[in-house]
């Protein structure tokens, strides 16, 4: 009996080893905070976003640092515990996963790399908005929404809060007003006030001596039922592997939404990621990159 168990264990190890051998990597690094390192062979090297980790590698996580990994199966894994971790041991913690996730995590990595290269070549980020309020929402033609839960923010150089966020119908009827001291707002489109509205206009007002307001070209447009049905199946498959409320899982969902041109849902997922990991600056950086590559923030020439 004991020999049989040993044989089964050996066979399992061979299968695992073979599976790793068929892959170029065990994990990819999607997010990194701190001076973390990877040992591949005999030398330690800095970990960077996009780094591939083999099953024979080892990583060293610094105090108060963070590494967001994506397994070859597509399953996300956050590593927060300081110290050395063998990649093969980290892989053993991964359960489930879906290969469909890989195209979205690869999309996030390639999109950020492409955007940074474009910025280097063409210019810098334009952050100035004067005294006007610039809402971080896409152009009207890209304002479709899949989910009911929506979170978005706004920016301004000089205007300060408190703010009023006003949602109206296409005919100007007020549907809802939200008062906030911060520069983000969360709403639920399943509320009765939005029940019969497929196209909702948004304005943000701030009273700082004189009332300042955002422009008229911001809105939320419900996705058609046909498109909802088309997207639902694959989204459910993605969500089955990223069901836990972690920043890394929200980042993966943001990649799904962006690739499917659901930019407002992606904005919501990024905002949730930032809220879940406020001490990891790269989530804010990747959100900023997302806004720029989709034209929500401007990039000016040198």
Task: For residue 122, name the pLDDT band (cuts at 50, 70, 90).
Answer: very low
In which band, very low, low, confident or very high, does the pLDDT at 209 lie, cut at 50, 70 and 90? Answer: low
Q: What confidence category does residue 123 fall into, taking pLDDT thresholds of 50, 70 and 90?
A: very low
16-20, 62-66, 190-194 — which is least confidently predicted? Answer: 16-20
Q: How many CA atoms lie within 13 A of 124 on its CB side?
A: 4
On whether the CB atoms of residues 68 and 76 are closer than 8 A, the answer is: yes
Cα–Cα distance measured from residue 253 to residue 263, given in angstroms and rounded to the nearest whole number: 11
Would you tell me how many other CB atoms lie within 10 Å of the CB of residue 121? 8
Mean pLDDT calculated for residue range 266-290 = 96
Asked if 49 and 85 touch (Cβ cutoff 8 Å), the reply is no
Percent of the chain residues topping a pLDDT of 90: 62
CATH for 134-222 is: 2.60.40.3580
pLDDT in tens, 81-111: 999 999 999 999 988 666 677 788 888 888 8
Domain boundaries of the chain, sorted by first residue: 2-97, 134-222, 225-301
Alpha-carbon distance 31 to 38, whole Å? 14
Count other Cβ atoms within 10 Å, centred on residue 230: 13
In the numeric block, the tokens 């839960």 are attached to 149
**For residue 119, what are the contacts with CB-CB under 8 A and spacing of at least 6?**
125, 292, 299
Q: Which residues pair with 48 in a beta bridge?
A: none
Cis, peptide link before residue 162, omega less than 30° from 0 = yes
**Span 237-276, pLDDT tens digits:** 899 889 899 999 999 999 999 999 999 999 999 999 999 9
How confident is residue 11, by pLDDT bands cut at 50, 70 and 90?
very low
97 in the Ramachandran plot: left (φ > 0), alpha (ψ -120 to 50) or beta?
A: left
Question: How is residue 24 annotated by DSSP?
Answer: S
Please list the residues that pair with 205 across neighbouring strands: 164, 213
User: Are residues 187 and 202 in contact, defined by beta-carbon separation less than 8 angstroms?
Assistant: no
Q: For the segment 136-161, what is each residue's pLDDT rounded down to a tens digit?
A: 999 888 999 999 999 999 988 777 77
Pairing status of strand 37-40 against strand 58-61: antiparallel
């Amino acid at each position: 009996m004991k020999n049989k168990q040993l044989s089964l264990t050996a066979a399992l190890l061979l299968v695992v080893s073979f599976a790793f051998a068929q892959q170029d990597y065990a994990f990819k690094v999607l997010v990194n905070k701190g001076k973390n390192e990877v040992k591949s062979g005999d030398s330690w090297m800095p970990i960077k976003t996009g780094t591939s980790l083999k099953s024979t590698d080892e990583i060293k996580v610094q105090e108060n640092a963070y590494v967001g990994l994506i397994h070859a199966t597509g399953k996300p894994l956050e590593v927060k515990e300081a110290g050395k971790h063998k990649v093969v041991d980290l892989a053993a913690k991964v359960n489930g996963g879906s290969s469909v996730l890989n195209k979205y995590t690869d999309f996030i990595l390639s999109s950020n790399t492409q955007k940074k290269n474009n910025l280097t070549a063409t210019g810098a980020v334009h952050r100035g908005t004067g005294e006007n309020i610039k809402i971080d929402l896409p152009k009207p033609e890209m304002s479709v929404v899949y989910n009911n839960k929506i979170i978005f923010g706004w920016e301004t150089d000089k205007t300060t809060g408190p703010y009023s966020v006003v949602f109206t119908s296409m005919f100007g009827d007020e549907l809802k007003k939200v008062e906030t001291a911060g520069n983000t707002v969360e709403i639920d489109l399943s509320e009765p006030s939005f029940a019969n509205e497929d196209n909702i206009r948004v304005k943000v007002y701030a009273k700082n001596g004189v009332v300042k307001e955002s422009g008229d070209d911001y809105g939320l447009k419900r996705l058609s039922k046909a498109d909802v049905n088309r997207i639902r199946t694959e989204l459910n498959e993605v969500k089955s592997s990223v069901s836990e409320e972690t920043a890394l899982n929200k980042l993966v969902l943001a990649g799904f939404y962006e690739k499917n041109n659901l930019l407002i849902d992606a904005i919501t997922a990024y905002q949730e990621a930032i809220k879940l990991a406020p001490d990891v600056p790269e989530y804010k950086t990747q959100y900023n990159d997302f806004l720029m590559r989709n034209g929500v923030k401007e990039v000016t020439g040198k």
